[in-house]
Amino acid sequence: MRILEIESKPLRGAPCVAVAGELDVAGVPELERALDAAIADSTGAFLIDLCELEFLDSSGIRALLRARALLGREARALALICPPGPVLRALDLVGVSDLFTTYATRDEAACALVPPG
- Is-contact 9 16, C-beta < 8 A? yes
- What pLDDT does residue 2 have? 77
Give the model confidence (pLDDT) of 12-66 as tens digits. 999 999 999 999 999 999 999 999 999 999 999 999 999 999 999 999 999 999 9
- H helices of the chain, in order, are 28-40, 58-73, 86-94, 106-113
For domain 5-110, the CATH class is alpha beta
Segments making up each domain of the chain, as ranges: 5-110
